A and B are shown apart, each in its own frame.
Chain A
Amino acid sequence: MAMPTVQRRTSTPASRLTRWMHTLKSSLGRPLIAVLVAFILGMIIVMIASPGALGDRFNTAVSAYYNLVMGSFGNIQSISYTLAKTTPLIFTGLAVALAYRAGLFNIGAAGQLAVGAMVAGIIGLKLGSLPGVILVPMMLVASMLAGAFWGSIVGILKAWRGAHEVVTSIMLNWIAFYVCAALVEGPFQAPGLSQQTTPLSASATLPSLANLYNQTLGTIFGQIPLAAQYTVDVSLLLAFVALVVYWFLTSRTTFGYSLRVIGQNPKAARYAGISVKRNLVLAMALAGAFAGLAGATRLMGQSPYQLISSGFSSDSTGFDAIGVALLGRTTAIGVILSALLFGGLQQAGPFLQLNVGVPGDLIYILQALVLFAVAVEYVPSFQRFLPPFMRRTKPVLAPPLVPNLIKSEALLEHASGSSTAGPPEATLTDNSVGATDAPTPATSQED
């Protein structure tokens, strides 16, 4: 048991490579299994639900999946649609992931997204005459601030009143939905229409990537023909910026480090001198800012460029984000990949009905199954059901998520073999589960 910890400290290129491979395997393997399990179960559901002999049912299921793939990534146009659906999922996925690092379950991304979109919309409508160079950044920043405000309420209630974040964020979601709907149907109602605002003026919108290219580099390197059919807009680039910011924050700053310590063990964090309260509020505010951007960028980047009062509560992006973050194991790369998966599913859903006669809502069943599979798969108890060769017996060579100050303690634990939870992933879903005041990871699996 002590061997890995010793190896970890020597840092030859070869050992680094093996470690990297291990991390890659452990972080990719299980989510892939989760997706596979979900898709097999989904296939069974299609086969049960479709008519005909067993062979026909099988064919229906296969062609359903074929259509899912082709509908989402089959040609450049559908890829463009998929990317447009992926963008908000990246933002909200990061919103959930960042909070998760701190052991908080942010299911309030939906509400944070709503207030972000609303505030951006209000500014866009009220100041629509300003030039885009000023207006667009203003709207984006305002949406971040609004989302951050909405998110920080959860953090404040958690930090100072111990109110459980799942419950408060559900309440805040619905408050946001109704308040935004009241604003859309009230002061910001389009004349003559009851449930929507007027579309944003052109200066308040984000151009599509294809149009942007045609106007800039395209004048030199040649135009993209039929640019209008490629709908993905520049907010995809913003999403990449957000991903880099997230990666940097979580893995290259003290703040990110503190968050992980808090998420793993708030008591240890307190002993190490980390301000738990301040960091919780900050984490939720940042998470809210990401989610707020999701709302603003979709409003500004995608047709119909207007707010619809029923759109806030019926929008599932904030909840899909939970799947995105958990499937992506709260890493930046993972969030991209799983956002692509979920975005692709959502883009391809309608093709199922059109081409195979299978209702497009199959994709929501698939998403739910992925969530189940993800929720289950980290847990050590599940390993008992796996054949021995698939069990993780040795701790993986991932760095322990403990602060430098208490590293020696952790090393001792490793050496004595009392800690079975070597890999950081093992504690991801165990902590922050329910209504306990402070998430205490990995307590139930120790003895």
Chain B
Amino acid sequence: MFLQVLGHVLITSDLWQAALQFAALLLLPALGGVISERSGVVNIAMEGMMLIGAYAGVMVAVATHNILLGVLGAMIAGGLLALVHAIVSINFMANQTVSGIAINIAALGLTNFLLPIQTNGQGITALDSSLRLPQAALGPLAHIPFIGPVLFQQNILFYVVVLIVILLHFLLFRTNIGLRIRAVGEHPQAADTAGVNVRLVRYLCVVSSGLLSGLAGAFLSLGIAGIFNQDMTAGQGYIALAAMIFGKYTPFGAAGACIVFGLGEALSPRLQDTGISANLLSTLPYLLTLVALVGLVGRTMAPAADGVPYEPAAE
């Protein structure tokens, strides 16, 4: 019974389309995490940055009647929150985990605090379709059976995410900049000696993680949901964190992890009838990540200087 339903569900293009959409949504903050942690700053605040991005995206889009400004606003909001994380953890050498938790609490508090004030207690109604990120079919490619709907009839941000992941991989592993980022994350003293500005690199990386997470927030509120709800990220930032680790701190690894986790998320509502609890299915990403951490499927190692504040010796 279960296998029958599963087999039937697995060959529907509808499932894979949804899975890839979830994957793209998770991948943005996961990539943000990759770039931040590669530079040596622990970032567990993607959840909060995503939430504030989702909120700012909707508010700006509604206020300006411009979807592009909305997306931009979402990224800036995420980036600003990340900037707080950067200042606190790089300059003030605060515990980065504490700062991350504080950001997550602050984002939840801020959005819940501002929502009734900015909407006079009304909350936000569903967005007009002109203010939503559209689905975009890529010309003739979209008509290929199965592959067409799965890969080429996605939300417009999906294609952006695909571009970003390729670019980020190239940036991290094929360019000078990427080498510097990784050097700062692995051995900041050595990087410093070689003339790399450790703090600047870390600042840029942490803020980028905020921009990416903010973009994910816009994807969620302006793209997928078309509305902002309180606490609408509901732990997706943490799944992204899991994806980052499961993907061994690499862009493509994170992408693979996100596809697996996205498939899980897309499957659970479709398997309701089989009696498999959606709740139990939701534990899958976390279980897989634990297994990866324990080293049963290849050990996951964080960058060597991840989470260690760096203070130049000269000071």
Contacts and interface: CB of A to CB of B under 8 A. Distances in A.
Interface string B89-102: 00111111111011
Given A322-B101, A430-B93, A174 B88 contact: no
Interface residues of A, number: 57
Given A372-B88, A435-B302, A178 B280 contact: yes
B102 to A, nearest CB: 4
A430 B282 CA distance: 35
Contacts, number: 177
Contact of A375 (B99, B105, B280): B99
B147 interface: no
Interface string B152-178: 000000000000000000000000000
Interface stretch (B55-63, B65-73, B112-120): B112-120
Interface string B278-315: 01101100110110011100000011111111110100
A436 B238 contact: no
A433 B283 contact: no
A411 interface: no
B280 A171 contact: no
Contacts of A376: 88, 92, 94
A181 B279 contact: yes
Contacts of A434: 42, 96-97, 302, 306-308
Contact of A444 (B277, B286, B308): B308
Interface residues of B, number: 59
Interface string B238-267: 100110010000000000000000000000
A68 to B, nearest CB: 14
A359 B113 contact: yes
A78 to B, nearest CB: 22
Interface in A28-73: 45, 49
A76 interface: no
A364 B95 contact: no
Given A175-B287, A178-B283, A365-B106, A313 B235 contact: yes
B97 A161 contact: no
B88 A364 contact: no
A157 B93 contact: no
Contact of B102 (A368, A432, A445): A368
A157 B309 CA distance: 25
Given A175-B283, A186-B277, A429 B293 contact: no
A319 B92 contact: no
A297 B196 CA distance: 53
A319 B302 contact: no
A447 B313 CA distance: 6
Contact of B283 (A163, A179, A186): A179
A185 B114 contact: no
Contacts of A107: 97, 101
Contact of A174 (B97, B283, B306): B283
B294 A381 contact: no
Q: Which 9 A-B pairs have the closest CB atoms?
A: A434-B307, A364-B109, A368-B106, A435-B302, A371-B102, A182-B279, A361-B112, A375-B94, A375-B98
21 contacts: A49-B114, A163-B294, A166-B42, A167-B293, A170-B44, A170-B241, A171-B242, A171-B290, A361-B108, A372-B102, A374-B98, A375-B94, A376-B88, A376-B92, A381-B93, A430-B309, A433-B95, A433-B96, A434-B96, A444-B93, A444-B308
Interface of A: 45, 49, 105, 107, 157, 161, 163-164, 166-168, 170-172, 174-175, 178-179, 181-182, 185-186, 309, 313-314, 316, 319, 322, 326, 359, 361-369, 371-372, 374-376, 379, 381-382, 429-430, 432-436, 444-445, 447
